[in-house]
């Protein structure tokens, strides 16, 4: 790769791939043809850090050609270690074959890296879910497939690093595939920092590039697993909270749990998986923050870990005051304050048990 301060933009790559014969180092790509849009121009899939082009080569083979929009100095070494680890775990069915090419594409007379990856057919996770909102059994099957995928990754000591709807494909037969391995962690990368911190609507607000280890997928797993289960129970959440670049959550939900209407709606669901994953998300978002101080007398004493009830607001409507308020009496009547505390105990009891045990 040329030693230069210049780095190609999306426009530069768009111009280069129109002439594959002179752009690519790979003879296969040189003789290939980019998939084009209605105007006859190469059709890129654009992200924050890369532009991806679909190429068709001899024998109708299809490839994803990933061109990077920023310089990542050690990307070659990282991909080599990732490739070695995946070769040791060929039993995993979730990954596409790929090849990192250090001097794969020439732009303005200088060479730059690319990743040539097998093109996989399938719907992005959000598209598949939207197509099947009215089919809860399909979403339940998807949830089971997702649980197995995460269990297999843990068994192989692999963390993807950026689990989100665009990096998860659902094949026509229902199988799952993962793409985009730039931020992947494998044991030989232990001690290094990440090149990225992942999609903000799927990642802990605490995550930085220093968080790069075997457990970095836990939070995004909870976000995805909870979303699938919640939509199987209440598909109406999709129209209310999906914005086309998420499933249900947005980063602002993690930053301010108290004001999140999504959190309030999720608390109403019955699914044990929703309750467990919501507990994990709330706990992670709360970590490192000070518990808000207040009058201990106003907190429900029967509930352990009172931060949970302090940190997440009870969104259910408060009872309307009676025209003649009654005082507590010996026959079991209670005032509005004790009634509200009792309801709050019920809202969070299952979540608290999930975190701290019974």
What is the DSSP annotation of 204-241?
-TT--TT--STTTTHHHHHHHHHHHHHHHH-THHHHHH
Q: Which CATH superfamily is 123-286 part of?
A: Transferase(Phosphotransferase) domain 1 (1.10.510.10)
Could you state, in order of their start, the residue ranges of all structural domains in the chain?
10-118, 123-286, 296-356
Asked if residue 352 has pLDDT above 90, the reply is no
How many beta carbons lie within 10 A of that of residue 350, not counting itself? 16
Pick from 36-45, 67-76, 127-136, 280-289: least confident: 280-289
| pLDDT on residue 46 | 87
| pLDDT on residue 1 | 52
- At 68-92, the pLDDT tens digits run 999 988 999 999 999 999 999 999 9
Instruction: Give, in words, the CATH class of 10-118.
Output: alpha beta
Which of 277, 207, 286, 214 has the alpha carbon at shortest distance from 249?
A: 277
In this prediction, residue 294 has a pLDDT band, given cuts at 50, 70 and 90, of very low
How many alpha carbons lie under 13 Å from residue 333 in its C-beta half-sphere? 7
More confident: 5 or 35: 35
DSSP state of 159: B
In this prediction, residue 289 has a pLDDT band, given cuts at 50, 70 and 90, of low
Structural contact between residues 184 and 82, judged by C-beta atoms closer than 8 angstroms? yes
Asked if residue 59 has pLDDT above 70, the reply is yes
Pick from 12-16, 221-225, 252-256, 329-333: least confident: 329-333
Question: CB-based contacts of 324: which residues, under 8 Å, 6+ apart?
Answer: none
CA 67, chain centre distance (Å): 22
Quickly list DSSP for 190-201.
TTPPPS----TT
Which H or E run contains 47? none
Structure tokens at 155: 């068994």
Phi and psi torsions of 73, nearest 5°: -55, -35
């Amino acid at each position: 790769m040329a030693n230069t301060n210049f780095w190609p933009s999306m426009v530069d790559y768009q111009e280069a791939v129109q002439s594959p014969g002179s752009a690519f180092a790979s003879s296969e790509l040189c003789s290939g043809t980019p998939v084009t849009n209605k105007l006859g121009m190469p059709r890129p899939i654009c992200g924050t850090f890369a532009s991806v082009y679909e190429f068709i080569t001899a024998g109708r083979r299809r490839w994803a050609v990933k061109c990077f929009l920023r310089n990542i100095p050690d990307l070659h070494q990282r991909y080599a270690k990732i490739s070695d680890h995946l070769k040791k775990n060929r039993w995993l069915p979730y990954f596409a074959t790929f090849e990192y090419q250090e001097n794969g594409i020439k732009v303005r007379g200088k060479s730059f890296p690319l990743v040539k990856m097998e093109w996989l057919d399938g719907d992005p996770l959000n598209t598949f879910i939207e197509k099947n909102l009215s089919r809860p059994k399909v979403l339940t099957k998807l949830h089971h497939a997702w649980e197995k995928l995460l269990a297999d990754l843990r068994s192989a000591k692999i963390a993807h690093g950026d689990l989100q709807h665009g990096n998860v494909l659902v094949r026509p037969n229902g199988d799952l595939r993962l793409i985009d391995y730039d931020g992947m962690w494998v044991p030989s990368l232990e001690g290094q920092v990440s090149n990225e911190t992942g999609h903000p609507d799927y990642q802990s607000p605490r995550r930085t590039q220093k968080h790069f280890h075997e457990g970095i997928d836990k939070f995004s797993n909870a976000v995805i697993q909870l979303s699938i289960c919640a939509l199987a129970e209440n598909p109406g959440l999709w129209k209310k909270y999906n914005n086309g670049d998420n499933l249900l959550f947005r980063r602002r939900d993690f930053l301010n749990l108290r004001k999140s209407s999504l959190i309030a709606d999720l608390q109403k669901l019955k699914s044990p998986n929703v309750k467990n994953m919501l507990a994990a998300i709330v706990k992670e978002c709360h970590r490192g923050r000070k518990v808000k101080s207040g009058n201990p007398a106003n907190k429900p004493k029967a509930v352990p870990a009172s931060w949970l009830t302090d940190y997440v607001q009870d969104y259910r409507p408060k009872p309307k005051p009676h025209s003649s308020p009654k005082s507590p009496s010996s026959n079991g009547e209670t005032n509005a304050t004790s009634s509200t505390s009792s309801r709050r105990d019920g809202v969070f009891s299952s979540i608290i048990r999930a975190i701290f045990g019974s």
